[in-house]
Amino acid sequence: MLWPILKLELKKMFHRPRTYLGLTGAALIPITIIIIFLFRDPTPFLAKALGRTFTLSGSVLNGYLVALTTLNQGTMNFFAPVLIVLVAGEIVAGESQEGTLRLILTRPVMRYKFLLAKLLTVCIYTMLIFVVMLIIGLGVSLLIFGEGSLFVVGLFLGNVGWFNILNSGTALTRILMVYGISFLILLTVTTFSFFLSSILKNPIAAMIFPLVVVIFLRIVSAFPFLQELKPFFFTTHMDVWINLLSPKIDWNQVFKSMSILGLHTLTFIGASLYGFHRRDILS
């Protein structure tokens, strides 16, 4: 059965300091934003940035704004991937480097079960990162700043031309949707790093290379003469969560982007299983 192996892998993961380093990093993002907002209300900044487009009355600061600010493009495109690869890049390659992988696979355990247990472990870790950010960024911030309407401007999310004002109930629903779909989006980075960890013997390479690829694809996709290739880059679809905050959600685009990301994720998982099955443990 898979459960005994998974339980062992989870126990091993929670005995590694880097696991807690990643979860601490996930907690520090919303904590930092909460501290900043305790001393500085963002309403004057928003009013100044928007100029005469809007007239803001009162304060836009509430728990929903903190939760949204926690999960910004910087978090999705850089900070969260960094936290993810700390564990995903090391989980298989680390044991190979330490020399324990050969010993583990001498036991009567099929390779695919061993690898699936590792994969589920890093997926659970990725989920925990978002749970930590959600509990602090939404739960704690609601206790501190309270509820209210969520004022969303497309300009500050990388888009131009729309804004949205969500009442408290709708804001909560949209925020939960955003966090959920963001978790699914970053599973692509998780499985990519896991794939590299399953075929490489150096965990540092499995940690660094996915980040390099994300940055590289972001840069390359900005070139006008490569626009035809842009839809095939998984990084192109990592901002689809912004769609869930717009006045009218483009579900066709959401499903299209999630399908492409899902295809990348399944490809990385399949490549991991294939590569690990053919891997020569004795070398």
Residue 18 falls inside a structural domain: yes
DSSP codes of every residue in 51-83: TTS----S---SHHHHHHHHS-HHIIIIIHHHH
Residue 57 falls inside a structural domain: no
Name the pTM for this structure.
Answer: 0.93
pLDDT of residue 280: 67
pLDDT of residue 42: 87
The burial class, CB within 10 Å (0-12 / 13-18 / 19+), for 169 is: exposed
pLDDT of residue 53: 62
Residue 235 falls inside a structural domain: yes
Give how many domains the chain has, as a whole number: 1
Residue 152 falls inside a structural domain: yes
Residue 282 falls inside a structural domain: no
pLDDT of residue 84: 97
Tokens of residue 99, six digits: 């020399």
pLDDT of residue 90: 93
Q: Look at residues 125, 238, 245 and name the one whose alpha carbon lies nearest to residue 177.
A: 245
**Domain extent for 229:** 2-51+63-277
Residue 56 falls inside a structural domain: no
Residue 37 falls inside a structural domain: yes
pLDDT of residue 225: 77
Residue 151 falls inside a structural domain: yes
The tens place of each residue's pLDDT in the chain, 283 residues long, gives 788 889 999 999 999 999 999 999 999 999 999 999 999 988 887 777 666 666 666 678 999 999 999 999 889 999 999 999 999 999 999 888 877 777 777 665 678 888 999 999 999 999 999 999 999 999 999 999 999 999 888 767 776 678 888 999 999 999 999 999 999 999 999 999 999 999 988 899 999 999 999 999 988 888 887 788 888 999 999 999 999 999 999 999 999 999 999 999 999 999 999 988 777 665 5
